[in-house]
A and B are shown apart, each in its own frame.
Chain A
Amino acid sequence: MSLSGSPDSMSLLRAAIAKIEASEGLALQKAGRKLPSGGGLPLEMALDGLHEIVPARAGDHAAACGFALALARVLSKAGPAPIFWIVEDFCIHENGMPYGPGLMQMGIDLENLVLIRTSQARDALFAMEEALKAGVGVVIGQIWAMQRFYDLTASRRLALAARAGGFAAIMIYPAAQKPTANEPFGGMASAAVTRVEIASASSVPIAGLGRLAIPGAAQWNLRVMKARASPGIYGERPKRLRFDAQKAVFIQDFTQNVVQNALSVDPSALSRHRPRDAVDAAGAHAKSA
């Protein structure tokens, strides 16, 4: 049996490969719908893709969750679509329960949030896939035993479900099992279109009465680990971001150096804020920036 003997089969195979590439492989380059304005993000994020968020350090889990929620809001800006937050029980034992008042301050309408707690990682992946296929809103997932259950197949299923439903999937890694940064594409292979590493950064400080400043609006350092839609961005310096909860956009902080200490901000710029109105002051600062 030689291939040269059957030219028809060769052309058939070529046609089949072209078909697969048209529908699957190369389609990732033009990955679905894009965010119209970018939402203030330094990279393009598909509205119907799978995104992974990796906490940079052990304590950055809450920061990663906050970024994921902000991202979910940005990615569902077209309409008030619900957010499905699917968590494995052990994550709640370890990191606490999502807290209503805090969520509201991120601009999340509690009426739009569905919290699904599962006892096993497998159930969480199942629920994520179902919710994505139903196409009713952005799905955030958190599983503890990531390395055991979240592999190429699982992520591929989620990516396809997200594409079919038209809403984004966001997967948050547990800090203890983050993919190693030494390897070029982050160690754990997955079908995600984007993978970003999130570290909590010093907040926008507000001068206090005493020796110490008052913590202001939350900020994150974002490092792109993988971005299929905008490949050039990989390996750039971390970007500092914060989130405007009212307008639901990210604000990039170009002025501040990432390594700058929070305390070395020029106090004269802040002196007009009374320390008592800490929250208001933070909001005003965010608007002016």
Chain B
Amino acid sequence: MRLMRLARTPKAPEIPLATIAKVKGAQRLVGLDARAQALGLTRGMGLASARAMHPDLLVAQADLRAEREIFAAVLAWCRRFTPLIAADGEDGLMLDISGVAHLFGGEAALCAQIEQRLAAQGFGARVGIGPNPFAASAIARFSQKQILPPEVVEARLPKIFGHFPLAALGLGSQVCEAMAQAGLRRVEDVFLRPRAPIAARFGPDVLARLDQLLGLAKSPILPQFSAPDFSVERRFADGLTQESVILANIHILARDLGALLERHGMGARKLGLTLFRVDGVVREVQVGTGRPLREAAAMARLFSERLAGLREDGFETGYGFDVLRLDAQLVEPAADLQTSALPHTQAFSPQKDVFQRDHVTDLVDRLGARLGTQRITRLQMQDSHIPELAVTNMPAAPFQAGQNRLKPSAASPLPERPLHLLKLPEPIETIAKVPDGPPMRFRWRRALHEVVAIEGPERIAPEWWKLAPKMLTRDYFRAEDAAGQRFWLFREGILQVEHPRPAWFIHGLFA
């Protein structure tokens, strides 16, 4: 498929249009519309000579970034036809339509539909269908015909492509020019000649491309988006604008996908919903799940949360969505579950990790879809005695067996720890009787606290066996003020050994 943008003002529809960019210090034409091409202008031509030929040529500065963005949008839009799509050069798209065309009424109808729909959006496109990617690309660019019928045998390909220009091989302009100087202009000029001298003179690339074009060598498509394992979709004659209708259809899709997954004994861990808007905008919404999921209601609820979140960020239905597609992007084998019976026996089995209970996982998924999964965490103890490293935030998923070895106990021999740990220790001003004694009073956040009870020091030395950033020895104290509030204070550095005047910090608050 070849794309050409028709970016013009409605006032001057007849004037040829070209975009220019600075190439090697000269203004050259980089994009031409159909009229400009009909006038004999070509890409790469200097602006001065183009103006000399056609003084009324309308010229606009090329906006490469915008072009790339539009190209990416068109590429995403084409996913409505097939999941396997690749970019073909700077201005082409390659769609793998194996086994897809009949859904759109055959190859000819598919061609027509793509061209019409792109034309309606203001793009001029040429579609070519061939037995391999190179053939399709060559047909789209250099042939009047669109479709190479599937019954054409490979033996006839050399004859068909023989009269195509050498540019159909997709070689660089330098190679093409060199070959033209040698009198090689068409594909058959290369094909009918001995291979060794051509490879010696123009490089092995030429022959490799030729083999691919003629179907003698395989040429894979590297798709932009990986194809999901399971996918269901619904198409509508009119765009859906009402959210309730969209959600109802998501539910139907989820039911279809659930049935598909059940048949294969799988459950989805990552789901993708692609919404194709009538005006070409494509929105993709992804949600992850905490367990292999196949219940329609649970899947639909995840998306309804997510869409509710998106709506607050300005998600617009606009002219409506005409294609909804639900993919299971990551699947895992799931045992057959009986979901409805006796939910409460499962809820209170005491030995089980909370995150292995389905309705807790479902809740976490639902909240994660709305708030972001990184915001839902559980605390996990680490093997470190540095207070701020002793515990980490882990994603809310089941612990691996034996991961959290430490169990709570009130009579634990561990020294007492605060309930809240400040994000960073905050400096405090202290008054002590002796330079290395415990503080008698201290000032934190402008409030003065009189110490009435204190315990310490509990010395925590840096982990010298690790290549950690340099840290001083800390002496921790538990202090209680006259109001009964309890603080976790520390002095950083040993007096006159590590630091001439160690500073005091507050690190945590007790209940």
Q: Are A and B bound to each other? A: yes
Binding site for B on A (CB under 8 A): 57-63, 65-67, 69-70, 78-82, 92-93, 95-119, 123, 126-127, 130-131, 134, 136-137, 199-203, 205, 208, 212-215, 218-219, 244-246, 262-263, 278-280, 283
A98-B419 CB under 8 A given contacts A104-B406, A113-B378, A123-B371: yes
Q: Are B411 and A246 in contact (CB under 8 A)?
A: yes
B53 to chain A, nearest CB (A): 60
Of A99, A110, A118, A127, the residue contacting B418 (CB under 8 A) is: A99
Q: Are A215 and B390 in contact (CB under 8 A)?
A: no
Contact with A along B408-423 (1 / 0, CB 8 A): 1111111111111111
* CB within 8 Å of A: which B403-442 residues: 404, 406-423, 438
Binding site for A on B (CB under 8 A): 347-348, 350, 353-355, 357, 359-360, 362-364, 366-367, 370-371, 375-381, 387, 390-391, 393, 396, 399, 404, 406-423, 438, 447, 451-455, 478-480, 483-486, 508-511
A131 to B511 CA separation, bound complex (whole angstroms): 25
Contacts of A245 in B (CB 8 A): 408, 410
Contacts of B360 in A (CB 8 A): 82, 114, 134, 136-137
B368 to chain A, nearest CB (A): 9
Contacts of B377 in A (CB 8 A): 114-117
Q: Are B371 and A114 in contact (CB under 8 A)?
A: no
A40 to chain B, nearest CB (A): 15
Closest partner residue, chain A, to B350 (CB atom) = A80
A215-B371 CB under 8 A given contacts A131-B363, A262-B452: no
A111-B410 CB under 8 A given contacts A92-B423, A103-B419, A218-B511: no
Q: Are A105 and B417 in contact (CB under 8 A)?
A: yes
A18 to B371 CA separation, bound complex (whole angstroms): 41
A70 to B511 CA separation, bound complex (whole angstroms): 10
Q: Are A130 and B367 in contact (CB under 8 A)?
A: yes
A123 to B368 CA separation, bound complex (whole angstroms): 11
A271 to B8 CA separation, bound complex (whole angstroms): 94
A134 to B343 CA separation, bound complex (whole angstroms): 12
Q: Are B420 and A262 in contact (CB under 8 A)?
A: no
A80 to chain B, nearest CB (A): 5
Closest partner residue, chain B, to A60 (CB atom) = B485
A103 to B370 CA separation, bound complex (whole angstroms): 27
Query: Which 4 A-B pairs have CB atoms at the shortest separation, nearest pair first?
Result: A66-B511, A100-B391, A245-B410, A101-B417
A27 to chain B, nearest CB (A): 24
Closest partner residue, chain A, to B481 (CB atom) = A59
Contacts of A219 in B (CB 8 A): 484
A199 to B511 CA separation, bound complex (whole angstroms): 10
Closest partner residue, chain A, to B354 (CB atom) = A82
Q: Are B367 and A116 in contact (CB under 8 A)?
A: yes
Q: Are B416 and A105 in contact (CB under 8 A)?
A: yes
Q: Are B378 and A110 in contact (CB under 8 A)?
A: yes
Q: Are B408 and A213 in contact (CB under 8 A)?
A: no
A69 to B421 CA separation, bound complex (whole angstroms): 16
User: Which of B359, B419, B452, B479 is packed against the most chain A CB atoms within 10 Å?
Assistant: B419
Contacts of A131 in B (CB 8 A): 363, 367
Contacts of B396 in A (CB 8 A): 114
Closest partner residue, chain B, to A110 (CB atom) = B379
A106 to B98 CA separation, bound complex (whole angstroms): 63
Q: Are B480 and A215 in contact (CB under 8 A)?
A: yes
A215-B478 CB under 8 A given contacts A65-B420, A205-B453: yes
A201 to B378 CA separation, bound complex (whole angstroms): 30
A10 to B42 CA separation, bound complex (whole angstroms): 88
A99-B454 CB under 8 A given contacts A116-B371, A131-B363, A202-B484: no
Of A65, A97, A118, A213, the residue contacting B511 (CB under 8 A) is: A65
A215-B486 CB under 8 A given contacts A111-B399, A134-B359: yes
Contacts of A61 in B (CB 8 A): 509
Q: Are A108 and B347 in contact (CB under 8 A)?
A: no
A130-B453 CB under 8 A given contacts A96-B509, A246-B411, A279-B415: no
Write 13 A-B pairs (CB below 8 A) sorted by A numbering. Answer: A57-B483, A97-B421, A97-B423, A103-B419, A110-B381, A110-B408, A114-B354, A213-B452, A215-B454, A218-B486, A244-B410, A262-B484, A279-B413
Closest partner residue, chain B, to A278 (CB atom) = B455
Contacts of A213 in B (CB 8 A): 452-453
Of A115, A127, A218, the residue contacting B393 (CB under 8 A) is: A115
Q: Are B451 and A212 in contact (CB under 8 A)?
A: yes
A62-B379 CB under 8 A given contacts A105-B408, A136-B347, A203-B480: no
Closest partner residue, chain B, to A284 (CB atom) = B411
Q: Are A98 and B483 in contact (CB under 8 A)?
A: no
Closest partner residue, chain B, to A247 (CB atom) = B410
Of A80, A118, A136, A215, the residue contacting B479 (CB under 8 A) is: A215
Contacts of A262 in B (CB 8 A): 452-453, 480, 484
Of A93, A112, A118, A205, the residue contacting B354 (CB under 8 A) is: A112
Of A69, A113, A134, A215, the residue contacting B419 (CB under 8 A) is: A69
Of B367, B381, B484, the residue contacting A203 (CB under 8 A) is: B484
A108 to B381 CA separation, bound complex (whole angstroms): 13
